[in-house]
Structure 1
Amino acid sequence: MSWKSRALSPRSILPALAVLLVLVAGAAAHANKPVPFGDRVAARGVADASADPTASLDAADLDLRVGPGLEAYHRATGEHAWSYQREGATALHLKMAGENAVVVWDDGLVTSVRPGDHQVRWHRAVPGLADWLRGAGEPGADKRTEEQREQLAAERAAAALHTVRESAPWVAVVTPELTMGFRDADGDLRYNSKPPGNCVYDPERTVATDFAVLVPRSCANSAGQPVSGGISGYRLDSSGWQLNAGPAVEMEALDERRVLISDGPIVAPKVFDTRAAAPEAACGSPAEPFAAVRPGSGCGADGARETRER
């Protein structure tokens, strides 16, 4: 059998050229495709990304700071390691969730970043967060200076963002109209909760421990007068709880699991154990022998003071 060579005619070349042009156009469009969420990550002084020395670092080896994005510095030398920014957004506050950094941005986005190799892990948008950070629509908002607006946004971002370590790291974001919980492993939404009736959550009074986030709520009657509210406790490894509380309740984290709850001059302060999800018995109380959670230290004349100082 013999093969005869045959020259390609211009007509037969056209389909191949058309396919090639489509492939080239597709590759160019993909290369110029906008980066989702405006992410921009840049390692400093590293020509080859595969040789990036930060890839083998632990979070503890880096000093992380916000503004305008998330900036990482080598603790040992103080040198700038890498920068993560989002186009058109400013990072306001960060907290660690295990080995990962969680950042609140002024456009209402929450982002998890793995510091060791500066990888963006997930983004989540929280409805209403951006407006609350800016104080949009509040009395006197139009009279604030730019510096005052920036300071307010930073303070509110710190109040909104909370991280919990046990039993696996997770993230809570609290605004007056909504609180949401995300599993840090994958950013999965685990709960979202709106306050009941004429109530709002109070991010500034919210407290987190290694086991839970406690969110107080302020409520008003139909005439706008303050009435008793409550405290919502959130966990991901078990069901949460509800506590009754007055309109001026204050909370203070005593350690990694206990919170001191002060609810006015009439009701004595109490300690709530977020690991056991139960109040700690007061020193010398009749219920102490039968309590689910005993006092954390010896009881005596200075029992109340010891409880507060632990």
Structure 2
Amino acid sequence: MDRTRLALTAVAAVLALPLVTAAHHADRTPYGDRFDSFAGHPAGPAAVRIRGAAVEAYDSGTGARRWTYGRRGSRPLALYRAPGHTFALWADGLLTDTGPRRVRWHRAVPGLRGWLARRPERAAGVLKPLDADAGMLAVVTPERVSAFRAADGDLRWLLPARDGCAFDPARSARTDGVLLLAQPCRDRDSWSQELAAVDGLGKITPGRTPLGNELPGERPTDRGGNRVARPS
């Protein structure tokens, strides 16, 4: 009888090895993600915050946790919340979007890691929504503005700073659906060169024909009188 039990134990251990190995490898995500969802939370309004080295969603009334999201080797520096989306900027220069049940996408922003490493508090002004429903999100760094579609993280357009100039993420203003960004320049010949006006379709210029930001299969829409070119 003891031999039978010993044999069964050995077989069970051998069968369990692939499962243990699979779980071990499953944890090795390329971004070091760890997403934990807590069952039984109420369906009321939720809020998000940075808590320690993780992003946490919690019930606005009771404070009960709904989910937490952390990444090995990095920590969140700034958040922007929109309906159904929690955008987080991480110390290693990664941008993520998290929903109620999972992490939707990751995007690396060139040059951001080194710039934030010197002064992490700069992250507070980097994330800028480009429309009322945050369908487009801008990441503003001194060298460029990168615009991502919230639905899938697709990079829709880039705006480099003018030669001799640099964007200042901490200085911006919004009016009539337009985001005005400060762009200080070394040669201050014209104050107009030190401002950049953008919206969800990119830099605002007379007669522009930008590509739309619709998901594949959706029809391009006119916004504010702009002609929207069809994707090629």
Do Structure 1 and Structure 2 share a fold, with TM-score over 0.5? yes
Question: Could you tell me which of 36, 54, 57 is aligned with 1:42?
Answer: 36
Shift in Å at residue 230 of structure 1? Answer: 3.0
d(CA) in 1 for partners of 2:204, 2:138: 16
Note the residue ranges of structure 2 that are not aligned, 5 or more in a row.
Answer: 1-13, 207-222, 226-232
Instruction: State how 1:207-286 maps to structure 2 within 5 Å.
Output: 207-208=173-174, 211-221=177-187, 226-228=188-190, 229-236=193-200, 238=201, 240-241=203-204
Shift in Å at residue 27 of structure 1? Answer: 6.2
Q: Whose helix proportion is higher, 1 or 2?
A: 1
d(CA) in 1 for partners of 2:50, 2:182: 28
In the superposition, relative to structure 1, how do residues 57 and 27 fare at CA in structure 2: closer, same or farther (>3 Å)?
same
Instruction: State how 1:1-310 maps to structure 2 within 5 Å.
Output: 29-33=21-25, 34-44=28-38, 52-54=39-41, 57=43, 61-67=45-51, 68-114=53-99, 116-117=100-101, 119-135=102-118, 152-154=119-121, 156-166=122-132, 169-208=135-174, 211-221=177-187, 226-228=188-190, 229-236=193-200, 238=201, 240-241=203-204
* TM-score between the two structures when normalised by the length of structure 1: 0.54
Secondary structure, counterpart of 1:32 in structure 2: helix
**Kept in 2: contact 1:232–1:242 (CA 8 A):** no
d(CA) in 1 for partners of 2:135, 2:149: 7
Q: Give RMSD over aligned pairs.
A: 2.9
Secondary structure, counterpart of 1:134 in structure 2: helix
d(CA) in 2 for partners of 1:126, 1:239: 17
**Kept in 1: contact 2:149–2:155 (CA 8 A):** yes
d(CA) in 2 for partners of 1:86, 1:193: 29
**Kept in 2: contact 1:230–1:242 (CA 8 A):** no
d(CA) in 2 for partners of 1:100, 1:37: 19
Shift in Å at residue 122 of structure 1? Answer: 0.7
Q: Which amino acid aligns with 1:43?
A: S
**Kept in 2: contact 1:69–1:84 (CA 8 A):** yes
Shift in Å at residue 121 of structure 1? Answer: 0.8
Shift in Å at residue 215 of structure 1? Answer: 1.8
How many residues align structurally?
191
Q: Which amino acid aligns with 1:124?
A: R
Note the residue ranges of structure 1 that are not aligned, 5 or more in a row.
Answer: 1-20, 45-51, 136-151, 244-274, 278-310
**Kept in 1: contact 2:82–2:134 (CA 8 A):** no
* TM-score between the two structures when normalised by the length of structure 2: 0.71
d(CA) in 1 for partners of 2:176, 2:68: 29
**Kept in 2: contact 1:97–1:170 (CA 8 A):** no
**Kept in 2: contact 1:133–1:153 (CA 8 A):** yes
d(CA) in 2 for partners of 1:78, 1:167: 26
Larger Rg: 1
In the superposition, relative to structure 1, how do residues 158 and 209 fare at CA in structure 2: closer, same or farther (>3 Å)?
farther
Q: Which amino acid aligns with 1:153?
A: P
Shift in Å at residue 159 of structure 1? Answer: 0.9
d(CA) in 2 for partners of 1:95, 1:179: 17
d(CA) in 2 for partners of 1:29, 1:157: 38
Secondary structure, counterpart of 1:76 in structure 2: coil
Which deviates further from its counterpart, 25-34 or 173-182? 25-34
Q: Which has the higher contact order (CA 8 A, sep 6+)?
A: 2
**Kept in 2: contact 1:182–1:188 (CA 8 A):** yes
